[in-house]
Amino acid sequence: MSSPAFLPFNAPPVPEVRHDRRLVRRYLLQSALRFNAGSLLFLSLAIALMPLWLNFGTAAPGELGARKLNPYMIGGVVLAVMAWFALMSSGIARSFLARLVEEGKPLCAESMASSVTRRIDAPFNPYTTFDLCTESLSGLALGTALGYAGPPAFFHDPFKGRIVLGRWRPLALGRHVEVRVSSDLGPSCHVELRCRPGLAWFAIQRGESLRAAEMVSVQLRQHLTRHASALDAARRERELERTSLQARLSALQAQVEPHFLFNTLANLKYLIRTNQQAAQDMLDHLVGYLQNALPDMRSVSSTLGREMDLVSDYLAVMRIRMGERLRFSVDVDEQLRRLPFPPAMLISLVENAVKHGLERASRPGLIAISAKGERKAEGELLSVYVVDDGVGLTEQAGQGTGLANIVERLLLLYGREASLVVEPGDGQGVRAVLTVPVAGKQA
């Protein structure tokens, strides 16, 4: 026999638990009435069947007629049984009160109730909440925690948002827990949980309904909280990835600076002294170029029309610098100009065509820019063509931050849905095709 555990001398005093006297009287009376009501049901059934047992068979010759029940005897037996049941129920109830005192818990209305309800707010829509509740309540762990021999007997109706679990079937006869998910459409909903006693209503309530309701509600709250935390973590991770992507795009776009700016200003300074009309034309195109180029350096979204205007101003400036050696054409349908298009990519292709194609050639050259929309199985695509008849592909073409920059930015913005193809042109020069998706993820 183990010796009782003593508290250390400096331990704080344990507060004495006192039950509310009104609740105690109510609980004792309720326990006696419930216990006797259930017992009287079986006793009434036995008394109703007793005449059949007494009249079973025929009377032997010489015996008196059928045996009859003595009502006084029956009444005495019933009173004795009720008194015995009352004493038994009082003993069971008082033992439960003593256990609560040992646990340091006062008697409350829910611990003596046969039906306990709980409400849980879920941050998901009703369909997701019902699936999560079904997943959480149908496992072996909950059945073991509730004291079952295995997984709980389980019933669920997704059309009514109703889940019922208990120890055995039929569920309505035993103590069971009913969970209902509200059908209000929206980003969130609530779960109503009710522990029902079944035939255990006639038994003495010793907190079984309260424990079952608390255990199931804790299980649901933990499962919903874990799922919500996982979604929040995934949402934060996507937000961090988006922020990182934005920073990488801004860094990449910052590299796409107008390399010809210093040469153009030097050329403009010379033209002011020699040809003022050409200087005025160059200045007008330079201002138009900067008006379209500077917003691109601060954003990750543009339109095809704005990029075409940027390219047109750039080529107009370069035509003044290069003279007859440069000719260009821009052919874009007006409906396509309103479509979204990633900034500072088309100008890089045109700069490559001028720098590596026409400036190296000893003859006049042409740059043709066009766009075409097409629909494929993966969705609507927008393709922009930059074709020149310069010296063609060389080892120096595309080095630096040009084509590699475009490919990396396309991968960040669209994944595998976009592409850049640079190939030899028909006969001479280079043909570059930049393809981006129109529907879905935009620039």
What DSSP letter does each residue of 351-401 carry, written as one string? HHIIIIIITT-SS-EEEEEEEEEEEETTEEEEEEEEEE-SS---TTTT-TT
Helices (H), ranges, 138-207: 140-145
Residue 224, CB half-sphere, CA atoms under 13 Å: how many? 24
pLDDT at 409: 80
Rounded to whole angstroms, the Cα distance separating 376 from 192 reads 49
Percent of the chain with pLDDT over 90: 23
SS3 at position 157: strand
> 44-48, 130-134, 210-214: lowest mean pLDDT where?
44-48
pLDDT for the residue 286: 79
DSSP state of 178: E
Band (pLDDT 50/70/90 cuts) for residue 245 is low
Quote the tokens at residue 379: 């969705």
Would you state the pLDDT for residue 442? 44
What are 203-237's pLDDT values in tens digits? 888 888 999 999 999 999 999 999 999 988 888 88
User: Higher model confidence: residue 68 or residue 167?
Assistant: 167
pLDDT digits (tens, 9 = 90+) for 369-397: 999 998 877 688 999 999 998 888 775 55
| Exposure class string for 118-153: b at 16+ Cβ within 10 A, else e | bebebebebebbbebbeebbeeeebbebbebeeebb
- What's the rounded Cα separation, in Å, for the pair 309 and 50? 105
Q: For residue 337, which of 314, 295, 366, 370 has the smallest C-alpha distance?
A: 370
Q: What integer pLDDT is reported at residue 266 of this predicted model?
A: 74
* Alpha-carbon distances, residue 50 vs 10, 71, 79, 296 (angstroms): 66, 12, 17, 98
**Angstrom distances, CA of residue 150 to CA of 134, 143, 170, 172, 211:** 17, 6, 16, 19, 18
User: Mean pLDDT in the chain?
Assistant: 80
**Distance separating alpha carbons of residues 392 and 388, to the nearest angstrom:** 8
User: What pLDDT does 194 receive?
Assistant: 94
Report the 3 state secondary structure along 214-261: HHHHHHHHHHHHHHHHHHHHHHHHHHHHHHHHHHHHHHHHHHCCCCCH
What are the structural domains, with CATH classification, of the chain? 17-50+70-111 (no CATH), 116-231 (3.30.530.20), 256-437 (3.30.565.10)
333 three-state secondary structure: coil
In this prediction, residue 14 carries a pLDDT of 54
The pLDDT tens digits of the residues spanning 7-26 come to: 555 556 556 778 888 988 88
Pairing of strands 326-331, 365-376: parallel
Residues in Cβ contact with 393 at an 8 Å cutoff, skipping those fewer than 6 apart: 422, 424, 430
Q: Looking at residue 243, what is its pLDDT?
A: 65
Dig out the tokens for 435 from the structure: 């393809």
- pTM for the full predicted model: 0.53
- In this prediction, residue 1 carries a pLDDT of 42
Is residue 84 over pLDDT 50? yes
Residue of 343, 336, 334 whose CA lies nearest to 307 = 343
3-state secondary structure of 314: helix
Q: What is the rounded CA–CA span in Å between residue 271 and residue 288?
A: 18
Low-confidence winner among 114-118, 233-237, 253-257 (lowest mean pLDDT) = 253-257
Q: Mean pLDDT over residues 85-96, rounded?
A: 82
Q: Note the pLDDT tens digit of each residue in 318-344.
A: 888 888 888 999 999 999 999 999 887
